[in-house]
Every structure is written in structure tokens, then in C-alpha cells.
Amino acid sequence: MNSSTHFCIEELFQSHCQRLTNFIRKKVASIEDAEDIAQLAFIRVQAAAERSEIASPISYLYQTASNVMIDLKRRQKLHDAYVQATVRAEACSSGALEAVKSEPGPERVLSGKNDLSRIQALISQMPEKQRQAFLLHRVKGLAYADIAQTMGVSVSSVEKYILNALKQCRKAMQESEKLG
């Protein structure tokens, strides 16, 4: 890295970090997400500056931040679609849709109560933030961005919490099916 590029990047960071974060904050769910996006934008600008001269560093910085936001939103949509597809597939494979279509017999009711008890116990043992995110999403029906804002964490943290909770629930149900 040449020293003039390094100095320029540091100067750009010092003079525009807060403004860039404020600009991003207007478009994302939390200050943590805005800070993460700003940091990633500065890293990308620094990498680009090391490869070649940037004619307008400020414009390049804001455009890079906008591109990072678009990428993150695109990934969020893909993740949401994946989670929904996984939940639907689990519902189909576990016979949950069949149970909705017909009146359950006494053994199905008992099995359902046992499954519910296992899931409730599993949820109560989850780490606090994971449990909170999972319940806000599954019980309250909140979107990831709303959960992130409520909990004061990034959307990516909420994604991780919910995905881990779903994995734990799926694993517990699979183990239950093997035993039952």
C-alpha cells in the first residue's frame, strides 16, 4: 500500500465516517447495520484505492456503500426465502399439513402435545438472545429488521439467532421421530 493512498483513506474515513453512517442509517434497520455497512464500504474503497487511482473518492465511497446495502438486502431476501422453504418442507415432511386437513386422532393429539413440550423445553434452554429473536419472529410474527431494532442488534445477528433456533428445533424433532 502506498503511503499517499493510506493517508487519503484515513483522511476520507476521518471526514466522512459519521456522515456516511448517518446516510446509511436512514435506509437500514439499526445503527449496528449502518456501522457494519460503512465499515465494509471503507474496506472496499481502500482495496480499490490500492489497485488504482480513484477520481472521486467521496462519490466512490457513497456508491460503494449503496452497493453493499443492495447486496445485503438481496442476501436477506434469499435467506428469508430459504428459511420459509425449509419450514414449509419440514411441515410437509412431518405430516403437519396432513394434520391440518383432517381431525387428529387421540394418538396424534398426544404426539403433538409431547412434541410441543419438547419444543417448549428446548426453547427455554436456548441462549437469551436466540430465544428472544426466535419467539419474536415465530410467535409475534415480527420481521427480522423489526426484531433487530427491538433487540438492538444487527439483522445478520437476528438471522443467525433464528437459523440456529430452527436447526435446534429440527434436530430435536428428528431425534424424537427416531425414538418414537
Angle at 84 (CA atoms; ends 80, 88), nearest 5 degrees: 170
Least Cα distance to 136 among 122, 120, 150 occurs for 150
63 pLDDT tier (thresholds 50, 70, 90) = very high
Which residue is associated with the grid cell 487519503?
8
Condensed to tens digits (0 to 9), the pLDDT of residues 111-162 reads 777 777 777 888 888 888 888 888 888 888 888 888 888 889 988 888 888 8
pLDDT of 55: 85
62 pLDDT tier (thresholds 50, 70, 90) = very high
pLDDT of 98: 53
Neighbours of 48 (CB within 10 A): 16
Q: Contact 116/104 with Cβ under 8 angstroms?
A: no
Task: Please give the single-letter amino acid code of residue 81.
Answer: A
